[in-house]
Amino acid sequence: MRVNDAKEIAEIIRETAKQKNVSILQMCVDCGVSKNALSSMNAGSMPSISTVAKFADYLGVSIDRLLGNEGRAKSPLDEQLKGELFAASGLDEEITEEQKEAILNFIKWTKTQKGNK
């Protein structure tokens, strides 16, 4: 699964907010996020998963949608890895499925960035 770069994520957030008639400035204020968050993403700064989660919750969409992954096919290995990692960590009952998926997406994105440096 490919995770979009920061600029692509910023554009998806903007488009989603526009579709829902939500002001970017108001969303940032209401979420407790810097009003410059999207500008930073446009400059290439990857947002924290916490920021993406706040925006997703505010906009009423999944984190995957804001990361550009919604609707993409998932490998059976992704599900197996998710199950094994969380069972081994003991976190499988403490966080939501969406949070688990977001963590895996962030790990995958981190791996792709190692190859880009």
pTM: 0.60
Band (117; pLDDT cuts 50, 70, 90) = very low
Is residue 47 within 8 Å of residue 37, measured between CB atoms? yes
Task: Identify whether 59 is part of a domain.
Answer: yes
CATH, residue 66:
1.10.260.40
Number of domains, the chain: 1
* Residue pointed to by tokens 């096919």: 73
* 67-90 pLDDT per residue, tens: 887 765 556 666 666 667 656 666
Task: Identify whether 63 is part of a domain.
Answer: yes
Q: Which domain holds residue 82?
A: 6-110
